[in-house]
């Protein structure tokens, strides 16, 4: 027994030893008298019954011989020890043990004092333990029940969600089936038309083949007549100048001219809408390539972009937002009025009354954007009719209309000086209009899809655009293109006036400038040695400039504005591309 362990129950085992069991000897009769069949059956049954009874008796005796656990009620001192041990009163237990054994050794404990604890206390303890176990199991089952309930609610919600989605998918499926049936009926009606067109195409191809055969036959006849005339001229010699000979030459000239005249007649068809649009764009691109008078300079009324001062006056405004704008619910609806009969994309109304201040009718389609002049005296608008209109608010009339865009105008804005207007259009371009010369100064191409918005940098010259091609571009309208030299110590730039400037990256000013105008310069490139510059110009030429001396030479060959130029990595050739839809290689 350990020092801290005490017995609280008593078990008694019986003293019987199964090995000392006295078995009765059963004599074996060797001679069994013969019996009849009935007697044998009865005897056999009796023997089997006796054997079964013997087995039952053996089983009962074996069960009785097993050890029996007899639980005796604990004595009062054992009960006290168990109680103190259970609640952890170790020091009290040690004191009790010392005093108890001291009294026991002295014989001062009477037998009536050491009575057994009634079974009711032990039974209460057992019931209390069972109650704790059952409460624990109840809490566990309750938690499992709550988890099962939550799982049931979750599964039910998911079932309802998937059932709703299933219904929606079935509705969409039925709608798609109806649309497919409708499209089948719709396209079935085209079958006769397609058959007719196919028949007409075959007839046209046959006529084309016949016409080609007739043309070849006519050309053969012309060739035969030309050879005949040639042989006649050789035979006659000097007599070829006589009227008869002259008449033969005239006939030959008429025969040679006949196919050409036929070709001109065939080429006189009307252009389609797309071809007219393409021709219009090519004509616009060729405007700057037209022959200009000698001594032509840039437009005298063109405005200059202001110099960047590097300071935005708005930065001095250090005040924060008003309190009523920052707190929740600070803004409330104060007024509403009906402005137009269709969707409103820009506003020009007097606040807070909502009186209409100006109405201008000039656009043939919807108006998408409007912007005030910084002075407030003018207004510029753009819309779906591809036009940009300039309005005088004092007079209430349209001052000028810019029609350079070939698609709808989405956005426009005045420069902070009021001298320029930038417009963004569905034709994938941004145009800068000069209000001094009242003309389009520059076309910014770089977006692959419709340009949806344009905005000037406050008190600056940079231009920000966004497009449906998911890109934002920042432009400097003063510079068309810039490039580093291969050595990395020099930068060259060109602008829309044709000025070329060469900068040393270690200085803050250009080290040389050259006027290549009046046509705009679109691209600049260094050769691998950094001694030559190539400039692509709107006058359909590529200009070659010696960096050291400033000497200029021209490469002529393009039929329209040159938009790009670049040297190969070895400097052996120059590649250029232009609005005439050609790429040219110069060796």
Residues 253-270 as b/e (b if ≥16 CB within 10 A, e otherwise) read eebeeeeeeeeeeeeeee
Residue 256: predicted pLDDT: 36
Residues 448-503: tens digit of each pLDDT: 999 999 999 988 888 999 999 999 998 888 888 889 999 888 999 998 888 999 99
β-bridge mates for residue 370, sequence order: 381
Q: How far apart are CA 563 and CA 535, in angstroms?
A: 9
439 contacts 288 by C-beta, under 8 angstroms: no
Instruction: Please tell me the least confidently modeled range out of 264-268, 362-366, 416-420.
Output: 264-268
Q: How far apart are CA 93 and CA 114, in angstroms?
A: 17
Residues 350-360 as b/e (b if ≥16 CB within 10 A, e otherwise) read eeeeeeeeeeb
Q: How far is CA 359 from CA 284, 290, 339, 379, 397, in A?
A: 32, 40, 11, 11, 10
- Residue 251 neighbours by CB distance under 10 Å: 12
Residue 75: predicted pLDDT: 76
Quick one: average pLDDT of 396-404?
Answer: 91
pTM: 0.44
Q: Which residue do the tokens 């191809």 mark?
A: 205
Q: Is the pLDDT of residue 248 over 50?
A: no
Q: How far apart are CA 130 and CA 190, in angstroms?
A: 88
Secondary-structure percent of the chain, ordered helix, strand, coil, rounded to 5: 40, 20, 40
Q: How far apart are CA 500 and CA 483, in angstroms?
A: 11
Q: How far apart are CA 582 and CA 562, in angstroms?
A: 9
Residues 186-213: tens digit of each pLDDT: 888 888 888 888 889 988 988 888 888 8
User: What proportion of the chain, given as a percentage, has pLDDT over 70?
Assistant: 71
Residues 92-109: tens digit of each pLDDT: 989 988 988 888 888 887
Quick one: average pLDDT of 416-431?
Answer: 94
Q: Where are the domains of the chain?
A: 76-215, 373-586
Q: How far apart are CA 533 and CA 195, in angstroms?
A: 61
**Distance, CA of 468 to chain centre:** 13
- Residue 481 neighbours by CB distance under 10 Å: 18
Instruction: Please tell me the least confidently modeled range out of 44-48, 67-71, 115-119, 156-160.
Output: 67-71
**φ/ψ of residue 529, rounded to 5:** -85, -5
Q: Is the pLDDT of residue 380 over 60?
A: yes
Q: Which residue do the tokens 């310069």 mark?
A: 521
535 contacts 575 by C-beta, under 8 angstroms: no
289: closest CA among 585, 92, 578? 578
Mean pLDDT, the chain, rounded, equals 78
| CATH assignment of 373-586, among 1.10.10.10, 2.40.128.630, 3.40.50.920, 2.40.160.60 | 2.40.128.630
Residue 489: predicted pLDDT: 87
Q: Is the pLDDT of residue 18 over 60?
A: no
β-bridge mates for residue 501, sequence order: 493, 513
Sign for the CA dihedral angle at 519, 524, 527, 531 comes to: positive
**Better-predicted residue by pLDDT, 403 or 40:** 403
Instruction: Please tell me the least confidently modeled range out of 206-215, 267-276, 419-428, 525-534.
Output: 267-276
Residue 73: predicted pLDDT: 66
């Amino acid at each position: 027994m350990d020092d801290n362990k005490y017995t609280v129950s008593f078990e008694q085992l019986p003293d019987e030893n199964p090995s000392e069991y006295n078995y009765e000897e059963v004599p074996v009769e060797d001679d069994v008298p013969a019996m009849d069949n009935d007697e044998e059956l009865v005897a056999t049954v009796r023997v089997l019954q006796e054997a079964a009874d013997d087995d039952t008796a053996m089983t009962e005796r074996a069960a009785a011989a097993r050890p029996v656990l007899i639980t005796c009620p604990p004595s009062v001192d054992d009960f006290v020890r168990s109680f103190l041990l259970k609640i952890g009163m170790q020091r009290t237990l040690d004191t009790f043990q010392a005093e108890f054994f001291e009294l026991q050794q002295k014989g001062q404990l009477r037998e009536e004092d050491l009575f057994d604890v009634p079974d009711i206390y032990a039974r209460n303890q057992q019931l209390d333990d069972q109650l704790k176990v059952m409460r624990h199991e109840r809490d566990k089952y309750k938690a499992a029940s709550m988890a099962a309930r939550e799982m049931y609610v979750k599964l039910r919600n998911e079932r309802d969600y998937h059932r709703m989605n299933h219904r929606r998918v079935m509705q969409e499926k039925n709608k798609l089936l109806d649309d497919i049936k409708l499209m089948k009926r719709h396209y079935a009606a085209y079958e006769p038309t397609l058959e007719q067109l196919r028949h007409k195409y075959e007839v046209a191809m046959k006529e084309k083949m016949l016409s080609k055969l007739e043309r070849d036959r006519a050309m053969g006849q012309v060739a035969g007549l030309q050879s005949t005339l040639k042989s006649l001229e050789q035979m006659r010699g000097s007599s070829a100048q006589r009227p008869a000979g002259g008449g033969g030459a005239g006939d030959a000239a008429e025969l040679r001219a006949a196919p050409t005249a036929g070709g001109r007649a065939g080429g006189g068809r009307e252009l389609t809408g797309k071809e007219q649009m393409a021709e219009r764009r090519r004509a616009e691109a060729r405007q700057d390539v037209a022959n200009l008078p000698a001594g032509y300079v840039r437009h005298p009324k063109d405005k200059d972009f202001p110099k960047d001062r590097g300071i935005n006056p708005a930065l001095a405004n250090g005040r924060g937002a008003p309190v009523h704008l920052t707190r929740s619910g600070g803004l409330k609806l104060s007024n509403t009025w009906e402005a137009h009969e269709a969707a409103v994309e820009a506003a020009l109304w007097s606040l807070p009354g909502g009186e209409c201040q100006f109405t201008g009718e000039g656009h043939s389609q919807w108006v998408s954007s409007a912007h005030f002049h910084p002075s407030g005296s003018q207004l510029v608008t753009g819309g779906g009719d591809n036009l940009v209109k300039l309005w005088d608010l004092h007079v209430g009339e349209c001052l000028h209309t810019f029609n350079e865009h070939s698609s709808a105008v989405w956005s426009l804005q005045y420069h902070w000086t009021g001298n320029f207007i930038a417009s963004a259009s569905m034709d994938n371009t941004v145009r800068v209009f000069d209000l001094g010369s009242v003309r389009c100064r520059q076309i910014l191409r770089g977006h692959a899809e419709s340009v949806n918005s344009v905005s000037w940098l406050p008190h600056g010259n940079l231009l920000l655009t966004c497009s449906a091609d998911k890109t934002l571009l920042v432009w400097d309208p003063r510079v068309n293109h810039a490039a580093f030299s291969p050595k990395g110590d020099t930068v060259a730039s060109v602008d829309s006036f044709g000025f070329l400037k060469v900068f040393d990256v270690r200085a803050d000013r250009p080290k040389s400038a050259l006027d290549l105008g009046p046509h705009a310069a679109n691209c600049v490139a260094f050769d691998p040695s950094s001694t030559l510059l190539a400039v692509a110009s709107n006058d359909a030429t590529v200009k070659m400039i010696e960096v050291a001396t400033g000497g200029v030479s021209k490469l002529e060959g393009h039929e329209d504005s040159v938009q790009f130029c670049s040297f190969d990595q070895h400097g052996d050739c120059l590649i250029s591309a232009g609005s005439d839809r050609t790429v040219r290689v110069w060796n």
